Chain A
């Protein structure tokens, strides 16, 4: 049964005369892990920022669905968690304080913290307990009191993921979170995402709503296929002439297909999805391609029947 968390309708955006995104239509279901790939500069981060709400699109709309219905994104909000590649943690807070930071902001105000000290202290203890438990699950029990400069890049990104997850956002957005890390650390963090997906699967088996929905922007196609269950390709290389444009109107979704699901303990056998990787490289990254992409928009066609105009 369709249970959309994120709905993007007719989204287009330009920076001055530079048209970046064109007519993006996308629906992400609750519990999906969607990986967004595309050539450098095609607008992946622009699309992500439109979802976060920090850079609203010029045309179209982004809506996040909850129990109360679909709410159009008009700015950043706590229903959308974000993890960036750089500057992922507040440098003046320890790992524990970084994770507990969102709970403090969400459940108290500055005035309350100053004027109702007793209540704040009790709340703070609860926040610290929650944050400690989550960091221990991330295998960071020894790093609770460390500041970001005292932690490795991998540790910082795990804390950043915990910082976002503790808020239980409707959707978690990851903007190339592992781009600056070495291969071994990337693998470790990919397994963290697979563990979250495994929790989603377990929830579905119990007939419960899956707790995590993720949109991951990445340059690494292998990573995109390995950690996600759906791969989206954003590209400016599509048949815009056939659609009646005299110049490229911007990047659009040219690929949308399911990806194989892996368990956290599965080996990283990239050869097992080599064909899909080749298909993505050809469809999304090949500048000379000019054919219609309809055959590659399997999941989008299922969801809404919409395709690039």
Chain B
């Protein structure tokens, strides 16, 4: 029967078996590939993957990575300068500093969170106002609808030209890519707020501001969290695409240079780690949703 519940043990067993099947399939594939070409790294073995992960946790050096020396030159140069400064006592070097994974994470996550903060924050505020006041909705909807249909990755050259290739460009691109959709979606959530509850708030003495702040916004907040979780994926697409083209640091940049050097044993862990970051952000948003919106769980049940 469709929808019949299963015991938690059975669900766990199914999940474990599925993951095991994927792991076994990959192992078979990698082993077969390795037999054909022992030096090949396109489908790395588990041992090669571990080596790639260790490489990402290190600071780049010419000796350790001769194949990619030319591609990592800029990073080496930067690391070399910082090492000299550390030795000269001008700038203490932290344990994480200059390690490939740490620098890439700092760059990419900073851009992502900056862009999402503006896109989500601005979108929620404008969406609330548009949902509450029809004049604002009539004024902004056509422009936002058009903007939401623009493919942000196709418009990247315009962002490069207008905003440069530094942090501001990434933030602007992610914000532009997410704000119209967030605004239109939140305004729709607000319009779905039952008018009976709105009237009731007025009869209980609420002003317009209090209707928005104490009735409408708390009711749509859980769905805003759901929307934020959904926006992480598209924002990462814009970010990685841009980093692969123009960045000098970040996950997109690292994936590009390591792919060019056919260091797939380092590329795969980068992709997995990026996915883990996205998963962690989703988990954090869900935990915050549960904390701030305890009624939402009751409503779903």
Question: For chain B residues 27-64, which have a beta carbon within 8 Å of chain A?
Answer: none
Tell which of B94-102, B143-151, B193-201 binds the partner.
Answer: B193-201
Give the Cβ gap from B292 to chain A, nearest Cβ, in Å. 10
Q: Which of B194, B202, B221, B293 contacts A87 (CB 8 A)?
A: B194
Interface segment, B105-113, B116-124, B203-211? B203-211
Please name all residues of chain B whose beta carbon is closer than 8 Å to the beta carbon of A169 when the two chains form the complex.
203
Asked whether any CB of chain B lies closer than 8 Å to the CB of A135, the reply is no
With A52-B199, A86-B196, A90-B219 known as contacts, the answer to whether A101 contacts B299 (CB < 8 A) is: no
Q: Mark A276-300, 1 if CB is under 8 A from B, else 0.
A: 0000000000000000000000000
> Are A90 and B215 closer than 8 Å at their CB atoms?
yes
Pairwise interchain contact B298-A106, C-beta atoms closer than 8 A: no
Inside 8 A of B205's CB, which chain A residues have their CB? 78, 102, 105-106, 167
B214 interface contact, C-beta 8 A: yes
Name A153-172 residues within 8 Å CB distance of B: 163-164, 167, 169
A contacts with B, residue count (CB < 8 A): 32
Across the interface, which residues of B come within 8 angstroms of A101, CB to CB? Answer: 204, 214
Q: Which of A82, A105, A106, A148 sits near B199, CB closer than 8 Å?
A: A82
In the complex, which residues of chain A have a beta carbon less than 8 angstroms from the beta carbon of B203?
Answer: 52, 76-78, 80-82, 164, 167, 169
> Chain B nearest CB: distance from A109 CB in Å?
8
Instruction: Give per-residue flags for B172-214: 1 if the beta carbon is below 8 A from chain A beta carbons, else 0.
Output: 0000000000000000000000111101111111110110011
Q: Which of A86, A92, A149, A150 contacts B218 (CB 8 A)?
A: A92
**Restricting to A136-162, which residues have a CB under 8 Å from any CB of B?**
147-150
Can you list, as one digit per residue, whether each of A40-84 has a CB less than 8 Å from chain B (1) or not (0)?
A: 000000000000101000000000000000000001111011101
Alpha-carbon distance A259/B130, docked complex (angstroms): 48
CB pair A87 B197 closer than 8 Å: yes
Residue in chain A with minimal CB distance to B195: A54
Chain B nearest CB from A70 CB (Å) reads 19
User: Residue B135 at the A interface, CB < 8 A?
Assistant: no
B261-301 interface bits toward A, Cβ cutoff 8 Å, 1 = contact, 0 = none: 00000000000000000000000000000000111001101
A87 to B202, CA, bound (A): 15
Contacting residues, chain A, for B206 (C-beta < 8 A): 105
Bound complex: CA A273 to CA B77 (Å): 97
Q: Which residue of A lies closest to B293 (CB)?
A: A92
**A110 touches which one: B210, B219, B298 (CB < 8 A)?**
B210
Contact, CB under 8 Å: B204 / A163: yes
Name the residue on B nearest A160 (C-beta): B200
Report yes or no: A149 in contact with B299, Cβ–Cβ below 8 A.
Answer: yes
- 8 Å CB contact of B298 from A54, A105, A147: A147
The reply on A91 being an interface residue by CB < 8 A is yes
Min Cβ gap B5→A in Å is 20
Most buried by A among B199, B201, B203: B203
Q: Which residues of A contact B293 (CB under 8 A)?
A: 92
B298 touches A84 (CB 8 A): no
> Which residues on A sit within 8 Å (CB–CB) of B209?
110
- A54→B204 contact, CB < 8 A: no
Within 8 Å CB of B218, what residues of A? 90, 92
> CA A71 – CA B265 in complex, angstroms?
79
Please give me the residue from chain A that is nearest to B215 by CB atom.
Answer: A90
- The minimal Cβ–Cβ distance linking A166 to chain B, given in whole angstroms, is 9
Q: List 30 A-B contacts (CB under 8 A).
A: A54-B199, A54-B202, A75-B202, A77-B203, A78-B204, A78-B205, A81-B203, A82-B199, A82-B200, A82-B203, A84-B196, A84-B200, A86-B194, A87-B197, A91-B299, A92-B218, A92-B293, A93-B295, A105-B201, A105-B204, A105-B205, A106-B204, A106-B205, A109-B207, A110-B210, A147-B298, A147-B299, A148-B295, A149-B295, A163-B204
A-binding residues in B (CB < 8 A): 194-197, 199-207, 209-210, 213-215, 218-219, 221, 293-295, 298-299, 301
Q: A91-B299, A164-B203 are in contact. List 9 more A-B contacts (CB 8 A).
A: A54-B199, A54-B202, A82-B199, A86-B194, A86-B196, A88-B196, A88-B200, A105-B205, A110-B213
